Structures are given as structure tokens and as C-alpha cells.
Amino acid sequence: MLRIGTAGIPHSAKPRTSEGGLKRLAELGLTCMELEFVRSVQMGAKTAAKVGQVARELDIGLTVHAPYYVNLNSAEPEKIAASKERILKAARIGAVAGARSVTFHAAFYHEDDPEVVYERVRDGVWEMRRILDGEGNSIRLSPETTGSLSQFGTLEEIVRLSEEIPGVGPCIDFSHLFARSIGEFNTYEQFASALQLVRDKLGDEALQAMHIHLSGIAYGPKGERNHVLLEETELDYRAVLRALADFGVGGNLICESPVLEDDALILQEYYNDLHQNR
């Protein structure tokens, strides 16, 4: 079964700490949470260990989102080095907490050829994977499909990275795929084709340990604008969930909605109904 939860601490959690968030998710019947280090990694190792202990006690799965300030295709070497360090820091703290996967937005194309950008990103991810492996850190590096046409991160690019580098897997954000396509990627058949690509290139085992984002989203001519409520989006999120259920996908599905747990519960209820009616 796919775990469903929130991107960060639920709004209704009291206190609004990671531990409080985990306890609130358990009360609501949600089963995973993403540690959101999107500005910077503020959590220390001692806190991470405690968060991990609470998550295990409550059977809540954990993932990590590394800081947004990442560009492995920067023209400035110091910015590439800083990007890698931000991802590595998130991966290290995530591993202490017991998270299985750390996701990040890998790069911007700028005016460069996409294949050249791919090679630069691949080399950067390989370097980080070797560093983590040398530290005995097996947390999965999971570059994310991105929602803007200016960003590296098509489904094919992310799956190709995962195919070429051991210890790397895709973070598929279905909302981003929809926004990046300017609303064209929005049918059950298309969602199923994305999962079939993962199966064909990475095997069924990859489908059993997926890192997924799914939320309402608004888009413009250049792709993603912002996340919106599920009731306000054109994205057929129910078809996404049907595809996930039909392919027997496991792992963690993270809801990044403005109303976090409210929309996560909508996703959870529909997903549970799919299984009960089989």
C-alpha cells in the first residue's frame, strides 16, 4: 500500500514541531511526512534522531526535500559546490532520521543544450552518491520532475539518471508533469505510461519504493505557477491515484497543498476506496 501524507508539519499540529506533526498525522490516519528543508537544513542530528524514533514508533514514513537553492548547471563552480553541499547536508540529516529518500530540483537549463545539462547533472549526482556511499549513507538521491520549462527535470531525464546511477531513484511529481505540459499531461493513460516507463527502465522494485508528489497546481505559458487546493485544480488527481493503485505502487506520496492535511486526507480517502472496491 502507498503511504500518503504531508509536505512538512500539518497545519493542525500542536505543537508545530516535527514530532508534533508526526503525532498529528497518526491521529488523522496519514502515514508519511516529508521533512521540508526547502530554505536550509536547520535540524541538527540530535533532533533528527528523536524525530526518527517517533516516526518509527508511530509507523510514519519519512522523506526529505533538500533546499530549493540548487543548480548543478550553474556557470559558477562555487554555486555548484554549494548546491551539492546543500543536498548532502539534507541527505545526512535525513538519514539520521531514518528517511528513505531525499528529493531536490537539480538544475536550470539556462541557454545550454539539454544533453549537456544532463551530463553535468549526472556527473554532480554521481559525485554526491559516491560521497554518501563512502560515508555508509544509503539514503536514496531522488531528483524530482520539475514544473517549469526552464528547469531540468523531464520524466525521461529523471528516469535516465535513475537508470544510470545506482542509489538514485525518481521523485515523480505528477502535478509538475501536468504543469510542465501546460495541462496536456492529464489522462489516466498518460499517468499509466509514466509508471510503465519506470517499470520498463527500473523494474518493479522501483515501483514498490516510489517517492511521489501530488497536489493541486496552477500553470501558465511557462509551466508551474503555484500549488492550489485540489478542488481548484484541473489536474485529474483521481486518475493519478487510479494508475498508482493499478500498478501496485508502494512508497510515499506527499501532498504539497496549501491546506496540507485536508487535501492529503482527500487523497487518502479516494485511494482507500479504490482498494476496498477491488
196: number of Cβ within 10 Å? 14
Write down the mean pLDDT value for the chain: 97
What global pTM score does this model have? 0.96
The C-alpha angle 167, 40, 120, rounded to 5 degrees, equals: 45
* pLDDT > 70 in the chain, percent: 100
Is the peptide bond between 15 and the residue preceding it cis, with omega within 30 degrees of 0?
Answer: yes
Q: What is the pLDDT of residues 48-91, one digit of tens each?
A: 999 999 999 999 999 999 999 999 999 999 999 999 999 999 99
Q: What is the pLDDT of residues 3-25, one digit of tens each?
A: 999 999 999 999 999 999 999 99
Residue 277: the pLDDT is: 82
Would the pLDDT of 278 be above 80?
A: no
pLDDT, average across residues 190-202: 98
Query: What DSSP element (H or E) covers 252?
Result: strand 251-255
pLDDT, average across residues 208-218: 98
What domains can you pick out in the chain, each with its CATH number?
A: 2-276 (3.20.20.150)
CA separation, residue 277 to residues 8, 9, 72, 176 (Å): 31, 31, 45, 29
